[in-house]
A and B are shown apart, each in its own frame.
Chain A
Amino acid sequence: MNALLERLYGLLLTFKEYVILSFLVVVSLVLLALNDTVQVQRLRSIATVVLGLTQEQLSFIPRYFGLIEENELLRRTNIELADEASRLREAKLENLRLRQLLGLKQQSTYQLVAARIVSKNLTLLRNTITLNVGTNDGIRPSMPVLSDAGLVGVVVAVNQGYSVAHLLLNVDFRASAKVQRSRVDGIVAWDGTSLQLTNIAKTLDVKVGDVIITSEYSSTYPPGMRIGTVKEVKEQPATLFKIVTIEPSVDFVRLEEVFVMTAVPDRDKIELEAQVGQRR
């Protein structure tokens, strides 16, 4: 027995490099398999807090370098916004008058929580951002993230002080959308290289320059949020669909501050649709 053990020990010692490699590979594979467990999520949550704090402390450096450019951009935006605000004021007054005439109830407005991006992950396929707001600020998963330019993404993970959001430029992101001009419906998705409006039959009316907005069919995003404009429309040979490429309204490279819309998905609608789906 002892001789066998000694021989086994000798073998382990001879091939220790391979033994260590095999052990660590197995541990890595087990960790990969346990990706969605609570323990791993908690570990990542702690790491996100630590990293978020570090990145927040260091985030002044890029802002300092880009200060002149940012200042110029802000001044230009300020002028544009002042002009837009005066036009909106007029439109709001007109809207109020019309609503009173029609006896319509004032549409409820959503509350927006301002957030700063403390980390941006731009690996092209699954792009995410980390925001410095979390459950303490009322943030929950599935809340839409937007900027002044339009829809940015959706919150997918939250802890007390930070949240992680999928950007539009993420292969896991989907949003029900429509062409503002022709009311044609489709699904906005990212294929890894470009943002596209999918499920558009060749007979439907979509043109370059059309504005794409979120549709009222979405359970996550309120209708009418700007997503982008149509950059290219191509006929797909041998299929019934067009390839509609969208230029996102949001400049993700320059994006620093965003808003989280504290609107959670309409649970009643989702439950009702699920019930009908089960009956079928």
Chain B
Amino acid sequence: MQFYLRSALVVLGLLVLQTTFIQWMELGGVVPDILFVWLMYIAITRGQIDATVAGFTVGLLQDLATTQFFGLAALAKTVSGFVGGYFYNENKTEIMLGTYRFVLVTMICSVVHNLIYFGIFFQGIDGGVLVPLLRYTMTTTLYTGAVSALPMFAFFRKYLTA
């Protein structure tokens, strides 16, 4: 119960950050998805089912907070949470979190997330979907991956330097 309450508070805090201060970090129209980094943390520490449900919940909240398509972030985060759950290994959680593997997992799942999200988001625009889809998928993945290095360093200090 305590875990769920703590998670709810963390998600709300991250949602406020994502919709306000993260705009400062905008580079060429691309912002990192910090809620996605949290989702990857859940996938690695809690497994596939928790990550799938958490992805859906967080995505739905993100959909409510933006004026974009309702249900789109929920869909993308549900699937990417599920994919992230494949990297769950109860005995290797600390190694997964505190090494480059966390960044790698985040980036792999971010590609899945962004392909679904932008693939639907860009439907109907002039000039074709493929070029903006690849452009935004790559840049957002790289940016989110770079941001995921910050918690990775924190986990490294917490778990692997003792």
Contact = CB atoms under 8 A, between A and B. Distances in A.
B64 A28 contact: no
A17 B52 contact: yes
A77 B127 CA distance: 39
Nearest to A41: B70
A38 to B, nearest CB: 13
B49 interface: yes
A72 to B, nearest CB: 20
B67 A17 contact: no
A28 B16 contact: no
Interface stretch (B77-85, B90-98, B102-110, B154-162): B77-85
Given A24-B56, A47-B64, A191-B127, A16 B49 contact: yes
Interface in B7-22: 16, 19-21
Contacts of B59: 28
Given A43-B64, A47-B64, A122-B23, A25 B85 contact: no
- Residue among B59, B66, B127 facing the most chain A CB atoms (10 A cut-off): B66
Interface stretch (A51-59, A104-112, A226-234): A51-59
Interface in B56-92: 56, 59-60, 63-72, 74-75, 78-79, 82, 85
Contacts of B56: 24, 27-28
A116 B27 CA distance: 24
A121 B75 CA distance: 21
Contacts of A130: 67
Interface in A1-51: 16-17, 20-21, 24-25, 27-32, 34-35, 40, 43-44, 47-48, 51
A51 B82 contact: no
Given A30-B71, A55-B20, A124-B29, A21 B82 contact: yes
A30 B69 CA distance: 12
Given A43-B64, A122-B23, A21 B79 contact: yes
B111 to A, nearest CB: 18
A57 B18 CA distance: 15
Nearest to A171: B125
Contacts of B71: 27-32, 34-35
A119 interface: yes
Interface string B116-152: 0000111001110000100010000000000000000
A28 B67 contact: no
B19 A51 contact: yes
B23 A25 contact: no
Contact of A17 (B49, B60, B121): B49
A122 to B, nearest CB: 6
5 contacts: A27-B74, A28-B75, A32-B75, A44-B64, A119-B20
Interface of B: 16, 19-21, 23-24, 26, 29, 31, 48-49, 52-53, 55-56, 59-60, 63-72, 74-75, 78-79, 82, 85, 120-122, 125-127, 132, 136
Given A125-B121, A125-B132, 12 more contacts: A17-B48, A24-B74, A35-B71, A48-B67, A51-B19, A55-B20, A119-B19, A123-B29, A123-B68, A125-B122, A157-B67, A192-B125
